[in-house]
Structure 1
């Protein structure tokens, strides 16, 4: 099975809410952690930083590695690394309108009530928080 490596950023606001993007394509409608695929030769931290600029127009300081988890999607194993990050410049906005239609901060407790609306990666992240394996 093909393996795809991805990385993204978990960004909290002053109220402890987590920033998510809403993907709205014919194939997928789901809330997801901002991030994406590693380019050849690119390290996960650089990917996370680049993807936040491309998707939301924000510069971030990438901090703690929160872990790596995998899931299967479309016959491929997706291996995703999460980083805790903070915005250093810009305001989050949707830049890739052909993929995403909204970005919003969510309380972790709120995510527990909308599991079916979350991407597999975001479900993995929520599970790790609930189990106490990740603290943000």
Structure 2
């Protein structure tokens, strides 16, 4: 099975809500943590920062690594690294309109009540929070 390396940023607002993007493509409609695939030779932290710039038009500073988990999607093993980050410039907005149609901050309890609307990666992230493995 093919393995794909991904990385993204977990950003929270002053109320502890998590920033997510809504993917709306013919194949997938789901809320997801902003991020994407590592380019050749790129490290996960650099990818996470680049993806936030490309997807949402914000500059971020990474505070720390929150962990790495895997999931299977479309017959591929996805290896995703999460970084806790802070926005240092810009306001989050959808830039890739052919992929995403919305973005916003969501309460963790709200997300836990709608697992069918979340990406496998976001479900993994919520599971790690509920187990006490991730704190932010």
TM-score > 0.5 by shorter chain: yes
Question: TM-score, normalised on structure 1?
Answer: 0.99
Q: Which residue of 2 aligns with 1:19?
A: 19
| Ranges in structure 1 where 5+ consecutive residues have no aligned partner | none
Q: Structure 2: how far apart are the matches of 1:77 and 1:35?
A: 16
May I ask how many residue pairs the two structures share in their alignment?
136
C-alpha offsets along residues 63-93 of structure 1, whole Å, 9 cap, x if unaligned?
2100000000111100000000000000000
Q: Which residue of 2 aligns with 1:46?
A: 46
Moved >3 Å (runs of 4+): none
Q: CA deviation at 1:104?
A: 0.6
Q: Structure 2: how far apart are the matches of 1:63 and 1:81?
A: 14
Q: Secondary structure at the match of 2:121?
A: helix
Q: Structure 2: how far apart are the matches of 1:54 and 1:97?
A: 12
Q: Which residue of 2 aligns with 1:129?
A: 129
Q: Which residue of 2 aligns with 1:101?
A: 101
Q: Secondary structure at the match of 1:51?
A: helix
Question: TM-score, normalised on structure 2?
Answer: 0.99
Q: CA deviation at 1:115?
A: 0.6
Q: Secondary structure at the match of 2:88?
A: strand
| Ranges in structure 2 where 5+ consecutive residues have no aligned partner | none
- C-alpha root-mean-square deviation of aligned residues, in Å? 0.4
